A and B are shown apart, each in its own frame.
Chain A
Amino acid sequence: MTEGVVLEGRGLVKRFGRTVALDGVDLAVRGGEAVAIMGPSGSGKSTLLHCLAGIMRPDAGEVTLLGRRVDGMRERERSALRRSRFGFVFQFGQLLPELPAEENVALPLMLGGVPRARAVQQARTWFGPLGLGGMEGQRPGELSGGQAQRVAIARALVTGPSVVFADEPTGALDQATGHDTMHTLVTAAAHNGASLVVVTHDPQVARWCHRVVEVRDGRLLPGHTPSPEFSGGGAR
């Protein structure tokens, strides 16, 4: 029945002291699917993303990637998993300022053991399609905000991940550039067969995603979990 489901969180609960950031969330992401997470500030979007991505351990519930339990793994394994199976795009500040753009993109490959020359060569192939032609040698400080986010997108996708997580990837950009960047992200992920989980405040972004889920006070709003096998599970 879980055919097509790549990543799945069930009954996720996360507390910070007395704050209940996640209060029993179920979410399944299918292969190649783009899911937008929306909701007011402080509702638990980032926490949900962190739990799904193996950055945080939920206090209760489970996360599985292609049927493998993620939440029980040790930090070292989760770290390896994030490196090899996931890609990340954050709001800003994720590129190493002293590395040229192409080396920033090549870094995940090198961490995975690809020799430097091949990693850089492979990284370069991403620049043209993402509209970054000629910027391979620029350093992040010399790029515009939108260009830097495209480099980050290339870096997230270069290892061929199963899922790309993006937490407000356009939050620091003006609206036009933001839409542009988000479009690039969605299409590039789809083109590479990667699922996408993106946290956003921009309702427009939903247009490019297959599905929008809404978080309120640590719960998914009912009616927003279309996967039949989990229907009704969002508001326990």
Chain B
Amino acid sequence: MSAAVTIAWRLLRGGGRRGLIGAGLTLAAVAVSTAFLMFTVAVNVAFEHRADREAWRNPVPADAARAVAVQGVRRDFFQGRMITVAEVAALRPGVAPPPGAARFPAPGEAWLSPALAALVRETPPDRLGGRFPNVAGTLAGETLVHPGELVAVLGRAPDDPALAPGRGGDGVAPTPVADFTGRHGADAVAYQSLALVAGVLMVVPLLVFSGAAARLTVARRDQRLAALRLVGATPGQVVGMTVVEAILLALAGAVAGVAGYLAMTPLLARITVAGGTWFVADLWPGVLITFGVLLAVPLLVGASAVLGLRRVVVSPLGVARRETPPGMRVLRVVAFLAVVGAFPVLGRGNAGVVVVAVALALPFLAVNLVGPWVVALIGRVMAGTARRPAWLLAGRRLVDDPRSAWRTVGGVALTGFVAGFVGLLSPSAGLLGDAPADRLRLGVPAAQAATVQAGAERRLRAAGVPARVTVTGTGDRRLVEVTPEPAATPGSTGGSPREGSPEVLERARTALDGLVPGRGASTPAEDDLPGMLLLGDIRTGTVVVLAVSLLVATTSAGITAASSVLDRRQTYALLRLAGTPLSVLDRARRSETLVPLVVMGGGSVATGMFCALPFVYAGLNVTGVLALGVCVVGGFAGVVGAGALSSPLLRSVTANPGPRPD
């Protein structure tokens, strides 16, 4: 083994400048894919962290004998931002406080999250502070979903009407609890599921990419290794050397990738999801997972290297003589059609998220399976119909090595699948309509409507807020609606806020606070806020997934383009010596990428859209189609750009008139 290490190191060092370029490309590829892999895993862990911290707000009911406290949770709002209000009452002395509070809040006390405390300080009390007259302390971060979250924990007496059993309304009805552990809320689970789906969509291209990086090492070496085989090295030695080299490179790349990811976390933490940014610590997936990634990536790369080497090892002449590659089996197409055909069946119904995630990965792999086969087919058509040399070269090359061509365009094509999928899926903002934000509503039982209306009018008058109070609705629940009115006194001084403005709305809301126990007034727009947030987050997720896939795809296209130039430098150099214009070689390289890209990219987008069909509830939407368009254009530009980047490499590699075997 140590001999293999030594020889591998020599090979790496002795490869010369071009060998080092190749090694550098592999290292960069592994680093990029490791960084994104860390990101993908960390995102899922981060949502888990959020869900854990938030769990206490979804109390598990305890029977009367074991209950030590009562807890209710409701929503309040301030200028369109949500405030989570938890009301707690201790049923006996010495109860452990809710998370984040230093002690159990006494009745009437308010413990505020740092962001809410700051907001209260900065805002005139009649708009916000009046709702929390007795602030006793600041909540620690361990109870917050995100750093800027607005949370208030209010202490109540056990017999406070706000905690009366069976009070209706939003949030969590007052619940007797034995402790403040709780369980993951429905929203948190929804986010975790979406993160899982996004993770699957990103992981598959990443794995394909890592595999490509490994093959790149092998491609760089296969000539030399075949020579070693011819000289008489045993298969074990050959495999050992290459695998050791690949693993060492991959390990270095993985470490660089983890470091790069960690360096990026402060930036990534600024991505807003569910109404807030992230604690940087949330994006640290933990020592165990990090080591797992550091272990898995080199192993994966090593395994890929072994697979890539099989041909050299099986026959020493395998690579040296470049035999006709085995034909791509029709089996691949059959498997592809079977998977895609089965997809709508799997996706229908209320299948679990994991099932959906797996079902999602399948057609993804199917596209990858059928890719090389279709590329070879495209090549045959191109070569058969070619009239110009560049087209002929491109076609023959596709037929000769469809897998390597697929490696160049596959990433982008798979992104096309993602784009097609989420392009159809991501819902548009207009789905929920545009609810008014200029009036407050309070839902009350019909019997109390008149009392609440009178109380509201009295409180608003006392607070000096001009507003019209009406009651709407039928049946046993009514809505008391409060519409702040335009200024009755036009001559009022410039210092006072204009009537009908958000400030007045907040003054009205603060005046109404506590009028109906356990329930705050909200505008119709605010009632839609959680849904809107989720929709916005799905869009954010779509953009992130597409951006990551696109970046990975483009990087991989660039790396494979460069490595294909390196692999064929001798032939290219000799062709150039014999007077073949570089423009012909460049055009051939471009066509061998672009033609399959157009066909496969288009096919993938279509496949993705087809697979998304069973999930589409709301029809097409502009954002999704736009994202799709951006993705298509970006992928195209990316691959063309990446190919163009290796043109100087082609120039320099072929400029040396004495082509050496290396």
Contact = CB atoms under 8 A, between A and B. Distances in A.
A56 B393 contact: no
Contact of A98 (B396, B570, B575, B581): B396
Q: Interface of chain A, helix or strand or loop or mixed?
A: helix
Interface string A74-114: 00100111111011101001111111000100011011000
A154 to B, nearest CB: 13
Nearest to B321: A141
A31 to B, nearest CB: 21
B324 A96 contact: no
A77 B577 CA distance: 13
Chain A CB within 10 Å, residue with most, of B323, B396, B570: B396
B387 A115 contact: yes
A234 interface: no
A44 to B, nearest CB: 12
A9 interface: no
Contacts of A180: none
A55 B324 contact: no
Given A55-B577, A93-B571, A111-B389, A103 B396 contact: yes
B659 A96 contact: no
Interface in A113-161: 115-116, 139-142, 156
B662 interface: no
Contacts of B571: 93-97
A86 B580 CA distance: 12
Given A81-B579, A97-B571, A107 B389 contact: yes
A142 B323 contact: yes
A50 interface: yes
B263 interface: no
Interface stretch (B160-168, B397-405, B476-484): B397-405
Given A80-B579, A141-B321, A98 B401 contact: yes
B236 interface: no
Contact of B579 (A56, A83, A90, A94): A83
B23 to A, nearest CB: 23
A84 B396 contact: no
Interface residues of B, number: 29
A187 interface: no
B584 interface: yes
A111 B387 contact: no
B387 A96 contact: no
Contacts of B17: none
A82 B578 contact: yes
A14 to B, nearest CB: 11
Contacts of B576: 79
Given A99-B393, A116-B386, A93 B401 contact: no
A184 interface: no
Contact of B400 (A46, A98, A116): A98
A111 B580 contact: yes
Interface string B362-390: 00000000000000000000000011110
Contacts of A76: 581
B396 A55 contact: no
Contacts of B577: 53, 55, 82, 88, 90
B322 A97 contact: yes
Contacts of B399: 98
A50 B324 CA distance: 34
Nearest to B582: A79
Contacts of B386: 116
Contacts of B324: 139, 141-142
Nearest to A144: B321
Contacts of B574: 88, 90, 93-94
Interface in A194-232: none
Contacts of A79: 576, 579-581
Contacts of B396: 96, 98-99, 103
A103 B393 CA distance: 10
B258 interface: no
B658 to A, nearest CB: 6
Given A83-B580, A108-B578, A111-B580, A96 B393 contact: yes
Interface string B309-333: 0000000000001111000000000
Contact of B392 (A81, A87, A103): A103
Given A93-B659, A98-B400, A116-B386, A86 B575 contact: no
Contacts of B388: 110
A50, A97, A156: residue with the most chain B Cβ atoms closer than 10 Å: A97
A96 B322 contact: no
B387 A83 contact: no
Nearest to A159: B579
A165 to B, nearest CB: 9
Nearest to A90: B574
B657 interface: yes
B563 to A, nearest CB: 16
Interface string B534-575: 000000000000000000000000000000000000110011
Interface string A32-68: 0000000000000010001001011000000000000
Contacts of B580: 79, 83, 107, 111
B657 A56 contact: yes
Given A81-B579, A96-B571, A141-B324, A55 B389 contact: no
23 contacts: A46-B658, A50-B657, A56-B657, A76-B581, A82-B578, A82-B579, A83-B579, A86-B578, A88-B577, A90-B659, A93-B570, A93-B574, A93-B659, A95-B571, A96-B396, A96-B575, A98-B396, A98-B401, A107-B389, A110-B392, A111-B579, A111-B584, A142-B321
Which 6 pairs from chain A and chain B are nearest by CB?
A83-B579, A82-B579, A98-B400, A141-B322, A94-B574, A98-B396
Given A95-B571, A97-B571, A116-B387, 19 more contacts: A46-B658, A53-B577, A76-B581, A84-B579, A86-B579, A90-B577, A93-B570, A93-B659, A98-B399, A98-B400, A99-B392, A99-B396, A103-B392, A111-B579, A115-B387, A139-B322, A140-B322, A141-B324, A156-B578
